[in-house]
């Protein structure tokens, strides 16, 4: 928490931790160092500040475009953890802060052309090939490639692969109350209204369908699990 609080909005991978131990933005130190949170914070900084870009697929009205990643430089998270931890402990012990220069390293995109080609063929192209229909409680709503699907679908890198991401805020906005009052009854008898998450849960299979029937999915209002 101290790392994030002190870093503020400065995302230069070399200087961002400089203010952590002195200057105008001194955070009250938390001791001992939370290694997990430190790793997460530095990983966030590495992703935001590096010059390398990750391969991805862009979704636009009636169009999908593969974008190859580019190599560059970025924060060396493991070595930076050691630098920050040592400097942090030194400040706690001495009460004196100093600028810490974080190491950078050459970074390659984890998503290569082969993965882009696979994601285009197996997901992006079929996903944007036609409308899908989601039904629940006798009602239905359609999402199409010309307007709504590009607002909902994106892809992110995960361990060298591109995986689909569905924007539930966009789904909720586009639903505009389409399933208002339609209730899901859980196995324990509790009830809740159909949500954007429920719509997202059936979208993946629908988007891969080849026929109108395959691209129509119904939300289960009485799930057993």
Residues 99 and 191 in one domain: no
Residues 130 and 80 in one domain: no
- Does residue 125 fall inside a structural domain? yes
- Does residue 224 fall inside a structural domain? no
CATH number at residue 189: 3.10.20
- Does residue 46 fall inside a structural domain? yes
- Does residue 223 fall inside a structural domain? no
Residues 119 and 214 in one domain: yes
Q: What is the CA radius of gyration of the chain?
A: 23
Q: Which residues pair with 133 in a beta bridge?
A: 142, 216
Expressed as residue numbers, the domain containing 127 is 113-218
- Does residue 45 fall inside a structural domain? yes
Domain count, the chain: 2
- Does residue 191 fall inside a structural domain? yes
C-alpha angle 167-168-173 in degrees, rounded to nearest 5: 105
Residues 89 and 133 in one domain: no
The per-residue pLDDT for 87 is 78
Residues 82 and 31 in one domain: yes
- Does residue 60 fall inside a structural domain? no
CB 66 within 8 A of CB 55: yes
The per-residue pLDDT for 50 is 63
Ranges under pLDDT 50 in the chain: 1-16, 18-27, 29
The per-residue pLDDT for 83 is 81
The per-residue pLDDT for 89 is 75
Residues 100 and 152 in one domain: no
Token pair listed for 171: 């789904």
Residues 166 and 192 in one domain: yes
The per-residue pLDDT for 168 is 98
- Does residue 65 fall inside a structural domain? no
Residues 121 and 101 in one domain: no
Residues 120 and 103 in one domain: no
Token pair listed for 197: 């998450």
Dihedral sign computed on CA atoms, order 140, 142, 143, 147: negative
Q: CA-to-CA distance for 68 and 38, rounded, in angstroms?
A: 30
Residues 213 and 167 in one domain: yes
Residues 130 and 151 in one domain: yes
Q: Which residues pair with 60 in a beta bridge?
A: 63
Written as one string, the DSSP assignment of 127-164 is HTSS-EEEEETTEEEEE-TTTTHHHHEEEEEETTEEEE
Q: CA-to-CA distance for 7 and 10, rounded, in angstroms?
A: 6
The per-residue pLDDT for 223 is 92
Closest CA to 160 of 195, 194, 208, 113: 113
The per-residue pLDDT for 45 is 66
What is the separation of C-alpha 55 from the centre of its chain, rounded to a whole number of angstroms?
14
- Residue 16's φ and ψ, nearest 5 degrees, are -60, -35
Token pair listed for 167: 């924007």
The H-or-E segment that residue 70 falls in is none
The per-residue pLDDT for 133 is 99
Residues 99 and 169 in one domain: no
Q: 3-class SS at 96?
A: coil
pLDDT digits (tens, 9 = 90+) for 57-85: 999 999 999 999 999 887 777 888 888 87
- This prediction has a pTM of 0.69
Closest CA to 5 of 21, 94, 80, 15: 21
């Amino acid at each position: 928490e101290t790392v994030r609080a002190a870093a503020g909005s400065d995302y230069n991978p070399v200087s961002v931790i400089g203010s952590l131990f002195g200057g105008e933005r001194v955070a009250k130190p938390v001791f001992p160092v939370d290694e997990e949170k430190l790793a997460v914070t530095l990983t966030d900084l590495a992703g935001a500040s590096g010059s390398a870009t990750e391969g991805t697929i862009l979704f636009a009205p009636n169009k999908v475009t593969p974008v190859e990643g580019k190599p560059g430089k970025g924060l060396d998270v493991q070595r930076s953890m050691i630098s920050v931890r040592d400097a942090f402990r030194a400040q706690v012990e001495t009460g004196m802060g100093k600028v810490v220069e974080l190491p950078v390293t050459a970074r390659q995109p984890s998503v290569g052309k082969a993965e882009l080609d696979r994601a285009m063929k197996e997901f992006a192209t079929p996903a944007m090939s036609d409308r899908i229909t989601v039904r629940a409680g006798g009602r239905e709503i359609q999402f199409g490639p010309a307007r709504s699907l590009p607002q909902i679908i994106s892809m992110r890198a995960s361990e060298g692969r591109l995986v689909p991401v569905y924007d539930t805020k966009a789904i909720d906005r586009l639903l505009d109350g389409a399933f208002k009052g339609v209730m899901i009854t859980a196995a324990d008898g509790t009830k809740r209204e159909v949500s954007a998450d429920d719509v997202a849960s059936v979208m993946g299979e629908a988007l891969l369908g080849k026929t109108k029937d395959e691209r129509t999915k119904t939300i289960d209002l009485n799930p057993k699990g």
